Chain A
Amino acid sequence: MATKLPKVPVVIVGMGWVGGIIAAELSKAGISVVGIERGKSRDTQDYYHVHDELRYAARYELMQDLSKETVAFRNTMKMRALPMRTYGSFLLGDGLGGAGVHWNGQYYRFLPYDFEIYSKTVERYGKKKIPENMTIRDWGITYEQLEPYFVKYEQMAGISGEKEIPSNIGAMSTPFPTGPMKKSPGMKLFENAAKKLGYHPYVIPSANLSEVYKNPDGVERAPCQYCGYCERFGCEYGAKADPVVTVLPVAKNTGKFELRTHSNVTKIIHDGKKATGVTYVHTPTGEEYTQPADVVILAGYLFTNVKLLLTSKLGEPYDPQTEKGSVGRNYAYQVNGASTSAFYEDREFNLAMGAGALGSSIDDFNGDNFDHSDLNFLHGANIRFTQTGLRPIQYQPVPADTPKWGAEFKKATIHNANRVLSVTGQGASMPNRYHYLDLDPEYKDAFGMPLIRMTFDFEDQDRELVKFIAQKTKAIADEMGATKTEIHDSIKQYNIVPYQSTHNTGGTIMGADPKTSVVNNYLQMWDAENVFICGASNFPHNSGYNPTSTVGALAYRTAEGVQKYLDKGGSLV
């Protein structure tokens, strides 16, 4: 029997970026918040020995323990889904700070086009442009409406970027609070090549601080040291913005925030109209608790958010056959695979040095910044050169015809270790009627609950996008003065084995229509007014960008929504 705890105003499930931001905003406003985190606590002291590629990058030290919980995967509805037994395509965060700890810090606001993708596509090309089964839709919020919340995140995290940004991305009411990252020789080669071709390169906005910064909450952090251990690692300097060094200490200092780690929420308790709290298991003891609350906020990664709704039977599960229901729909990903490698025989670069968000990029072929009339795909990709710090276990650069092992392999990998610059496309992922999340009928997690089942594949849209973007990466790479370039321009089926991206999106999407979305534009659940769900699970599609910027903005929007709800109650829209 679960122990019933005293009621609190707000309980948050998950203590990553979303949970941390909302906890800080609400507790600063004097509202008592309980934050529940299934993993352990963390601080920067844990990272004294973080520069360890084997432990953190190859053995996934910071990631969710898959022996306890994973997802099941199949490409199509005809296949039997099987559990992701080991890590591959994407990595699931765990512990205080969640995926906000192991990110690279690349910070891109989504484009104005993204938020009104359906209307703007129809307006420019007509309805017929949208292929059958592609379920793009407007987000129920515009870029202009979300703009102030982007600013809040940028000021909190100290985002580093150029004062002038290209006109083909969303306008900023307030410039970035800190200047851009330093420019490496590779970035200069990329930018010069892009300019020569008439494109509009800019230094990637970065959550790895470029300079000392004190944020509006009084949190002061030191600059990035370009140490080359960012993605999959925690930052021992606190230079990379993560929830543990920014919002969580602020929440704690209010005295209104209580953090409970090692606590795994297993259920949202509700009567079909409103939630009354959550049930969780304290994992070290196995004891079960019920935490009643006026407002329940789901702030987990998308799989957690979707799973809790489905296992708690809150909201209507999506059915791809009838297209009824919304929980689990519009699962999308990131379409990578378009790239060109530039090999330099005459020089070497300091490629072990870098930062997660060090690089330059263009958006001339992202969103609807170019004419799609004669193209067989929608949206596009951010094209970039990044220098994130290339580590030797996971980076074995060789020309395509090199053997996979032996003397020639050794020679080629050593020769090329510091001689290859890659121009890559980070492609948008359009939703599809048959790409969705539901509960697996067979496999269970450590608590006996079903695993999330993912049904996802690449479509012609994705293959065409990669083919087109790859040509653009080649054109730029060809202008970068390399000895030779090698293009990669095709993707086949989606395969869960090779690492691609931890930018999984959708499942609890936002929108203006309760029939086709789970939450409104305050991230308030249509079917339960005191439940708020926030994260990349809200994205109806994924843009050609890293998602954290938009997740952060939505978290600030949610915090405002929760305050309004606590004041007045009812639906906020």
Chain B
Amino acid sequence: MANDKPNQPQDESRRRFLKYSGTAIGGVVLGGVIGGLVGANLKDKDKEETPAAPQTATDNKDYNQALMFFNQDQFLTAEAAAERLFPKDDLGPGAKELGVAFFIDHQMASAFGTNSRDYMQPPYYKAEATQGYQLVFKRRELIALGLDALNGYSNTKYKKPFVEIAPEEQDAVLTAFESNDIELKDVPASNFFAMFLNLTLEGVYADPLYGGNKNMAGWKMRNFPGNQMSYTEYIEKEEFVKLEPMSLHDHLELG
């Protein structure tokens, strides 16, 4: 299916894509014999925006911010703990403002939280560190019990739940978990901590579609441009190019 009119755009979607990406790649067939298909679902920036729905007070609500897995205590503990790992400062928002606890909650409710694509067959044996994760615990079990344990530990040591102790005290609790410096009956503390830290950073920097990185503020702090279609015109530039980030939502053609 070679293109016999190499200077003609394949179709409307391709024309829109070329405008959209601003690249001069000519009118060639993309994707070879399978034809030109890139950009067919890309949002047309040149098209007039559909008139926005009338503004109401409820527009500021994010209805995606609700719990799929955690209970209220676990959620608040997750929010407080994540904020200590990635705190708000003069560079920008911290984990709380970025919606990281919602991200973690949603991930725990997902296939990832139930380890559905991991090998979970028994038997389980004590492993060497070089052999990786060998716990029977699923991620959602480890995270929920770990958050409960953060509270339990705070209650024992400071007579208050984790969310009510001072930030320095929260850091001390987190450090104790990180270094496995404590004996917890139910939870491998450092495994929990490592997984929670990883989830926190994912929540800061994953596409906003997953509930964290609210308004792409995580990306903006790092000058990460999100997902642009092309950097051909910038790749050779000596100077740093700042681009307004784009999320996957910007690439979706809504019906």
Contacts and interface: CB of A to CB of B under 8 A. Distances in A.
Interface of A: 43-45, 48-49, 51-54, 58-60, 65-67, 69-70, 73-75, 79-80, 82-86, 88, 182-185, 212, 214-215, 218-229, 236-238, 244-246, 249-250, 253, 347-350, 352-354, 358, 391-393, 396, 404-407, 409-411, 413-414, 417-418, 442-444, 493-497
Given A52-B207, A249-B34, A393-B202, 20 more contacts: A43-B31, A49-B248, A49-B251, A52-B248, A73-B131, A182-B235, A214-B2, A220-B32, A221-B30, A225-B230, A226-B232, A249-B32, A249-B33, A350-B240, A352-B224, A353-B225, A396-B201, A405-B197, A410-B89, A442-B123
A418 B224 CA distance: 9
Contacts of A414: 91, 221-222
B2 A405 contact: no
B215 interface: no
A82 B131 contact: yes
B54 interface: no
Nearest to B135: A85
Q: Tell me the dominant secondary structure on chain A's binding face.
A: loop
B84 A406 contact: yes
Given A220-B28, A410-B89, A184 B133 contact: no
B114 to A, nearest CB: 10
25 contacts: A44-B37, A44-B38, A49-B251, A54-B210, A58-B206, A67-B117, A70-B119, A79-B128, A84-B132, A85-B120, A86-B115, A221-B30, A238-B30, A238-B34, A249-B32, A250-B33, A350-B240, A350-B241, A352-B231, A358-B235, A404-B197, A405-B84, A418-B240, A494-B130, A496-B131
B41 interface: yes
A392 B31 contact: no
Given A85-B118, A222-B25, A414-B91, A354 B235 contact: yes
Interface string B29-46: 111111001101110000
Interface in B226-255: 226-232, 234-238, 240-241, 248, 251-252
Contacts of A347: 240
Given A52-B227, A225-B229, A246-B32, A220 B3 contact: yes
A227 B86 contact: no
A495 B129 contact: yes
Nearest to A250: B33
Given A185-B238, A353-B231, A85 B219 contact: no
Contacts of B87: 406-407, 410
B93 to A, nearest CB: 11
Given A227-B228, A353-B231, A67 B118 contact: yes
B34 A44 contact: yes
Contacts of A411: 89, 91
Nearest to B103: A54
Contact of B206 (A80, A238, A393, A396): A393
Contacts of B231: 225-228, 350, 352-354
Nearest to A237: B38
Interface in B1-17: 2-3
Contacts of A418: 222-223, 240
B127 interface: yes
Interface string B150-164: 000000000000000
A60 B30 CA distance: 26
Q: Tell me the dominant secondary structure on chain B's binding face.
A: loop
A221 to B, nearest CB: 5
Nearest to B122: A443
A146 to B, nearest CB: 26
B85 A405 contact: yes
B55 interface: no
Contacts of A222: 25, 28-31, 38
Nearest to A222: B30
B125 to A, nearest CB: 6
Contacts of B50: none
B71 interface: no
A393 B227 contact: no
Contacts of B29: 220, 222
Contacts of A223: 25, 232
Contacts of A183: 236
Contact of A497 (B32, B33, B130, B206): B130
Interface in B84-122: 84-87, 89, 91, 94, 112, 115-121
A15 B41 CA distance: 28
A221 B41 CA distance: 20
B205 interface: yes
A253 B119 CA distance: 39
Given A237-B30, A350-B234, A220 B123 contact: no
B201 A393 contact: yes
A404 B200 CA distance: 12
A393 B205 contact: yes
Contacts of A79: 128
Contacts of A236: 38
Given A218-B2, A410-B89, A184 B207 contact: no
B171 interface: yes
B21 interface: yes
B23 interface: yes
A456 to B, nearest CB: 10
A221 B32 contact: yes
A85 B117 CA distance: 9
A269 B205 CA distance: 50
Q: Which 5 A-B pairs have the closest CB atoms?
A: A51-B227, A238-B31, A219-B32, A225-B230, A353-B231
